[in-house]
């Protein structure tokens, strides 16, 4: 991957992350959840290039150390960053629905899709959420 220059460990930052991939996006309240969230924290580490992640210390949060994946980062301190990530291999999953039907969830290296009814309409569905949790 090309290098993304991150602030040094110990620096206070506001990281704007794409929140559209979170598991909560698939529930009935998904429309209430913002698509971009700002996380205020202190840089805890540089990028772990093996996983394209870095961590933030978030004071006063129930999750005091947040692991943030570069692909979800839109901006740091208001400055857009464009992370060029190493290629992520496409994956395919067969997920059983609650009524026994089988759905195919595909990840093309960037986007998740599902062939269920919700997925066909471009909505997040629980099959994608399940595949992501594997």
3-state secondary structure of 11: coil
With contact defined as beta carbons under 8 Å apart, do 131 and 107 qualify? Answer: yes
DSSP per-residue codes, 46-64: --BTTTTEEEEE-TT-SSS
With CB under 5 A as the contact rule, the residue among 68, 116, 129, 131 that binds Zn ion is 116
Does residue 127 bind Zn ion (CB under 5 A)? yes
- Site map 48..87 versus Zn ion, x via CB under 5 A: ----------------------------------------
Least Cβ distance, residue 127 to Zn ion (angstroms): 3
Does residue 119 bind Zn ion (CB under 5 A)? yes
Span of 21-29, 48-56, 81-89, 112-120 interacting with Zn ion by CB under 5 A: 112-120
Q: Report in angstroms the alpha-carbon separations of 12 from 65, 107, 117.
A: 14, 34, 43
Nearer to Zn ion, 67 or 117 (CB): 117
Q: How far apart are CA 89 and CA 95, in angstroms?
A: 19
Binding site for Zn ion (CB under 5 A): 103, 114, 116, 119, 125, 127
């Amino acid at each position: 991957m090309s290098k993304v220059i991150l602030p040094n460990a110990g620096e206070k930052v506001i990281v704007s992350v794409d929140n559209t991939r979170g598991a909560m996006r698939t529930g009935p309240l998904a429309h209430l959840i913002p698509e971009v969230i700002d996380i205020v924290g202190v840089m805890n580490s540089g990028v772990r290039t093996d996983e394209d992640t870095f961590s933030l210390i978030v004071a006063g949060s129930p999750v005091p150390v947040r692991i943030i994946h570069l692909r979800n980062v839109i901006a740091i301190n208001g400055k857009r960053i464009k992370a060029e990530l190493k290629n992520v291999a496409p994956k395919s999953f067969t997920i059983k629905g609650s009524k026994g039907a089988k759905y195919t969830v595909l990840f093309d290296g960037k986007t998740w899709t599902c062939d269920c009814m919700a997925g066909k309409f471009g909505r997040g569905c629980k099959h994608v959420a399940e595949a992501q949790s594997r």
